[in-house]
Amino acid sequence: MSRPKLHHYVPRSYLARFADADGFLHVYDKSTNSFRRQRPEQVMKINAYYRQEWAPPGVDPDILERSLGEWLEAEAKAAIDTLSQTPHELTDQQLADFLVYLELQRVRVPRQAEVGKELMRQTILRLVPEAAAAVASGQVRLSMKDSARFDYVRLSLGAFSPWFEAMKWEIVDAEPGSAFITTDSPVSFFNPAVLPPAEAGIGLAGTIAFFPLSSRKLLLMRHAQRQDEPSLPLTVLETPEHEDGFVAIDIGAVWPKDVVQRLNWKLSLLSANLIVAESREVIAGVLDGAV
């Protein structure tokens, strides 16, 4: 059985939705301040990223990579196609698959993995005062193993779906001559009271979730309560109950170029290193401060 070596933390089938007419992505790397042009299969991948070396005998250490490729990403691709073309025909099963995909895409990227590992580290220090004292004095160095990243993913799954499902969804189009970017953190949370690159929790009234569907379309999700309390973006909302297979989806809005660029700017600030788009000019519009 062949073993996948390079694992995509953002699927290439998704990235292909932001390619140019020749099938290439225009990539900007914030860490090196450089541009490059690459195929979707060459971008956002890390060697053995999902490999669990500590798996017990008889358990495939690459089971997560295989399950992602064989099931979830294929189902998510179909759901994104429906959302992009005929959103009101989204089936209950497609919605369920897409919610799982959104959750996993949110937490599996390197940026969120590091956040998760640090949260787990802080939890240990809070619950074990002796360890916190030893770390503070320099006697002990507390570092998180890579397995903590998988623990964070497991603990996070199921935490976001109730929020996503209870939010109001809107699919907006970029006007001709403009385009959405995507990044190495495609599911982004923005709250006007929390300055990027920090991200507010999804349970705050002012938090909006963004997920670019393609160069032309963007899914945004916002809390219904925000319409009633627009001046209280940090109000903590009650955890919603499961709605069982229904979301309200608004369509038809077309954003002008300046609004698209402002959104791209927010997404760029909430990325780790990589920004991709259908052209270098789209990314340059963000980097040049055109917003």
pLDDT tens column, 225-275: 655 555 688 889 998 876 666 788 999 999 999 999 999 999 999 999 999
Residue pair 199/189 in contact by the 8 Å Cβ criterion: yes
**Residue 136 pLDDT:** 80
Has residue 189 got a pLDDT over 70?
A: yes
Beta bridge partners of 276: 27, 182
The confidence score (pLDDT) of residue 276 equals 98
- List the alpha helices (DSSP H) in the chain: 12-15, 63-67, 73-85, 92-108, 110-127, 129-137, 147-156, 161-166, 257-269, 280-287
Residue type, 242: H
Please indicate whether residue 7 or residue 57 has the higher confidence score (pLDDT). Answer: 7
Contact 202, 237 (CB under 8 A): no
- pLDDT on residue 138: 82
Average pLDDT score over residue span 95-114: 88
In contact, 156 and 103? CB cutoff 8 Å:
yes
Average pLDDT of span 70-98: 91
Share of residues in the chain with pLDDT > 90 (%): 56
